[in-house]
Structure 1
Amino acid sequence: MLSSIKHKVILLLQLLLVLTYIIFEELIWEGIAKPIYEAIHALKILQKIEAKLERVNPSAILAIFVVLLTIVEAFGVYAGMLFVSGQMVLGLVLYISKIPIAAFTFWLFRVTEEKLMQFGWFKWLYEWIMRAIDWIKSSEIHRRTMEYLLQVKIRIKALKEKYFSGESPFIEKMKQLYKRLKVLLRT
């Protein structure tokens, strides 16, 4: 009996880790943060900063990185507290406002990774996190969840094509309603 409870708790924890990872990877990173990261990376001013970072002391880079990461994580925790306390809009605004900072922090990590990895504890922590992510991605729960999400995406795409395609009667009715409202608001 104790073994069964232990097994269920481990499965629940694994499911929570998988869902958290999927939310951050699929929704936040792929949908929001990655495009911001790519836009940041393309900025000419940051390319100049990148060249200057090559001359900066690794300890200074580590300090900057840790401060930025701490700010990003504090925003995330506080946003979560706001969500739990029922202040959804404020929590959402705070969470969304942290995304550009997180993307910049990720950019900083990528361009200074070699210097950051000079710190043994930092390298150990980074490798541990990467192993944890690999473990999550290799789990059966992750595989099944991703298959389920793929089916959901297919269904959403079918609904989108049915109701929101260019020749959809729904879209035509919405366009007509918009035109009528526009005329009414002008008069």
Structure 2
Amino acid sequence: MLSAIKHKLITLVQLLLVMTYILFEELIWEGIAKPIYEAIHALKILQRLEAKLENLNPSMILVIFILLFVIVEAFGLYAGMLFVSGQMILGLVLYIAKIPIAAFTFWLFRVTEEKLMQFGWFKWLYEWIMRAIAWIKATEIHRKTMERLVEMKRDIKAWKEKYFAGESPFIGRMKQLYKRVKVSLRK
């Protein structure tokens, strides 16, 4: 009995971790932050900044990175508190506002990663996080959830193509209905 409860508790923790990871990876990173990151990375001004960062002291880079990271996380936590307190719009605005800062912070990490990894504790923490993500991705719950998400995406795409394609039967009927209503309103 105790082992069954322990197993259910571990499964619940895995499910929560997997769902959190998928939420951030699939929805927020892939859908919103990655395009912003790519736009930031392409900016010429940041390419000049990247050249200046090469000459900057690793300790200064670490301070800047940690400051930006703390700001991003504080925005996220506060946005969550606003959601929970019922202020959904304000929470959503704050969360959306943090995404460009998070994308910039990710860009900063990528271009200064070698310097940041000079700090043993930072490297250890980064490697620990990467192992945790690998563990999450290796769970059966993650695999099955991703399979379901792929199926859902495929179903949604098929539904969109069927009902909202250029000249689908549905769109054709809607256009005909619109024309009839328009003609009858003119009379």
TM over 0.5: yes
Partners in 2 of 1:175 and 1:155 — Cα distance? 27
- Provide the residue aligned with 1:54 in structure 2: 54
Q: Does 1:108 align with 2:108?
A: yes
Per-residue deviation, 1:175: 9.9
User: What are the ranges of 5 or more consecutive residues in structure 1 without an aligned counterpart?
Assistant: none
CA RMSD for the aligned pairs? 1.9
Amino acid at match of 2:117: M
Cα distance per residue 1:121-144 (max 9 Å; x no partner) = 000000000000000001100000
Cα distance per residue 1:102-156 (max 9 Å; x no partner) = 0000000000000000000000000000000000001100000000111111110
Partners in 2 of 1:163 and 1:96 — Cα distance? 31
Q: Does 1:145 align with 2:151?
A: no
Per-residue deviation, 1:171: 3.6
> TM-score if structure 1 supplies the norm length?
0.91
Partners in 1 of 2:177 and 2:91 — Cα distance? 36
> TM-score if structure 2 supplies the norm length?
0.91
- Provide the residue aligned with 1:34 in structure 2: 34
Aligned residue runs from structure 1 range 171-186, under 5 A:
171-172=171-172, 173=174
Amino acid at match of 2:62: L
Aligned residue runs from structure 1 range 22-101, under 5 A:
22-101=22-101
Per-residue deviation, 1:97: 0.7
Partners in 1 of 2:175 and 2:150 — Cα distance? 29
What is the aligned length?
181
Of the structure 1 ranges 108-117 and 156-165, higher mean CA displacement relative to structure 2 is found in 156-165
Per-residue deviation, 1:68: 0.3
Cα distance per residue 1:7-38 (max 9 Å; x no partner) = 11110000000011011111111111001000
- Provide the residue aligned with 2:129 in structure 1: 129
Change (3 A) 1:175 1:132: farther
Partners in 1 of 2:80 and 2:62 — Cα distance? 27
User: What are the ranges of 5 or more consecutive residues in structure 2 without an aligned counterpart?
Assistant: none
Change (3 A) 1:174 1:145: farther
Runs of 4+ in 1 over 6 A off after TM superposition: none
Change (3 A) 1:169 1:125: same
Cα distance per residue 1:25-57 (max 9 Å; x no partner) = 111111110010000000000000000000100
SS state at 2:167 partner: coil
Per-residue deviation, 1:170: 4.0
Change (3 A) 1:140 1:48: same
- Provide the residue aligned with 1:165 in structure 2: 165
Partners in 2 of 1:175 and 1:160 — Cα distance? 20
